[in-house]
Structure 1
Amino acid sequence: MKKPSSFFLLLLGQENNEKEHGKIRLKRQLGLPSAVSLIVGTMIGSGIFMSPQGVLYYMGSPGASLLIWASCGVLAMMGALSYAELGTVIKESGGDYIYILRNIGPLPAFLFAYTASFVLRPASIAGVSLSFAEYVVATFYQDCPPPPVVVKCTAAACILVLVTINCLNVKFATTILNTCTAAKLLVLMVIILGGLVLLVNGNTQGLQNAFENTVPGFGPVGVAFYQAHWAYDGWNNLNSVTEELKRPEVNLPRAIMIAVPLVTCVYLLVNISYFIAMTPRELLSSEAVAISWGVKLLGSWTWIISLGVAMSTFGTGNGNFFSGGRVCYVAAREGHLPDTLSMIHVKRLTPSPALIFTAIISLIMIIPSSFNIIVNFSSFATWLFYGTTISGLLYSKIKKPDIPRPYKVPIIIPVIVLIASVYLVLAPIIGSPQMEYLYVILFILSGLIVYIPLIHYKYSPDLTLHLQLLLEVAPAAKND
Structure 2
Amino acid sequence: EEAVFLRKKITLLRAFSLLIGSMVGSGIFISPKGVLKNSGTVGFSLVVWFACGVLSMFGALCYAELGTRITKSGGHYIYILETLGPLPSFLFLWAEFFAIRPANSAVVSLAFGRYMLEPFFAPCAAPVPAVKLVSLLGYYMVLTLNSWSVTWSARLQTALSIIKLLALALIIVPGMMLLAQGHTKNFQDAFDRQSLVLDKLPLAFYAGMFAYSGWFQASFVREELVRPERNIPLAVIVSVITVIVGYMLTNVSYYTVLGTEDVLASPAVAVSFVQRAFKSLISVVPVLVALSCFGTMNGGIFTFSRTLFVASREGQWPPLFSMIHIRRHTPLPAVMLMFPLVTAMVCIGDIYHLMNFFSFSRWLFIGLATLGLIVHRHRHPELHSPFKVPLFVPVSFTIICLFTVAMSFYSDPVNISIGCTMVLSGFPVYYLIIHRQMSTISQNFLQTKPSSFFLPLSDYLTHKLQLLLEVVQQEIKTY
2:105 corresponds to which of 108, 113, 125: 125
Residue 175 (str. 1) matches residue 155 (str. 2):
yes
Conserved? CA contact 2:76–2:369, under 8 Å: yes
Give the corresponding residue for 2:462: 464
1:473 aligns to 2:471 (yes or no): yes
The correspondence for 2:13, drawn from 22, 33, 50, is 33
- The 5 A counterparts of 1:326-345 are 326-345=306-325
2:295 corresponds to which of 287, 308, 315: 315
Q: Does the Cα contact within 8 Å between 2:41 and 2:196 map onto a contact in 1?
A: no
User: Which of 71, 82, 87 is 1:91 aligned to?
Assistant: 71
- State the AA in 1 paired with 2:419: V
**Counterpart-to-counterpart distance in 2, 1:146 and 1:171:** 35
1:442 paired with 2:421, answer yes
Match of 2:272 among 292, 295, 313: 292
In the alignment, the residues of structure 2 paired with residue 294 and residue 147 of structure 1 have an alpha-carbon distance, to the nearest angstrom, of: 21
Is contact 1:59–1:65 with CA below 8 Å preserved after alignment? Answer: yes
Query: 2:39 touches 2:197 (CA, 8 Å); kept in 1?
Result: no
Question: How far apart are 1:108 and its partner, in Å?
Answer: 0.8
Does the Cα contact within 8 Å between 2:74 and 2:307 map onto a contact in 1?
yes
For each residue in 1:303-332, what CA deviation from the matched residue of structure 2 results, as whole angstroms up to 9, or x when unmatched? Answer: 121111011000111011111111111111
Q: How does 1:53-72 map to 2 (within 5 A)?
A: 53-72=33-52
- How far 1:143 sits from its partner (Å)? 4.6
Distance 1:349 1:215 in 2: 54
> What SS is found at the alignment partner of 1:303?
coil
Asked if 1:354 corresponds to 2:353, the answer is no
Q: Which amino acid is 2:434 matched to? A: I
**200, 206, 210: which one aligns with 1:220:** 200
Counterpart residue identity of residue 331, structure 2: P
Letter in 1 for 2:466: Q
- The amino acid of 1:290's aligned partner reads A
Aligned residue pairs: how many?
459
Q: Which residue of 2 aligns with 1:455?
A: 434
Answer yes or no: is 1:400 the counterpart of 2:380. yes
Deviation above 4 Å: which 4+ runs of structure 1? none
- Structure 2 residue ranges without an equivalent (≥5): 438-453
Shift of 1:214: 5.5
CA distance in 1, matches of 2:412, 2:99: 20
CA contact (8 A) 2:175 2:277 kept: no
Q: Is the 8 A contact 2:320 2:462 kept in 1?
A: yes
2:121 to 115, 128, 141: 141
Q: 2:401 aligns with which of 389, 412, 421?
A: 421
Measure how far apart 1:151 and its partner are: 1.4
Structure 1 residue 150, shift from structure 2 partner? 1.5
- Does the aligned pair in 2 maintain the 1:206–1:278 contact within 8 Å? yes
Three-state SS of the structure 2 residue aligned to 1:474 is strand
Separation in structure 1 between the aligned mates of residue 277 and residue 196 of structure 2, nearest angstrom:
33
Cα shift at 1:162: 0.7
Residues 344, 46 of structure 1: alpha-carbon distance in 2 compared, 3 angstrom cutoff: same
- Give CA deviations for 1:61-98 in whole Å, capped at 9, x if unaligned: 11100000000000000000001110001011000100
User: Residues of 2 paired with 1:170 and 1:34: CA distance?
Assistant: 11
Q: Distance in 2 between matches of 1:398 and 1:146?
A: 54
Cα distance between partner residues in 2 of 1:221 and 1:387: 18
Q: 2: distance between equivalents of 1:259 and 1:328?
A: 26
Partner of 2:446: none
Q: CA deviation at 1:250?
A: 0.5
Name the residue aligned to 1:44. 24
- What is the Cα deviation at residue 254 of structure 1? 0.4
Question: What is the DSSP-based 3-state SS (H/G/I as helix, E as strand, rest coil) of the residue aligned with 1:319?
Answer: helix
Give yes or no for contact 1:131–1:313 (8 Å, CA) kept in 2. yes
Provide TM-score, normalisation by structure 1.
0.93
Does the Cα contact within 8 Å between 1:243 and 1:478 map onto a contact in 2? no
Whether the 8 Å CA contact 2:119–2:282 is kept in 1: the answer is no
More displaced, 434-443 or 206-215?
Answer: 206-215
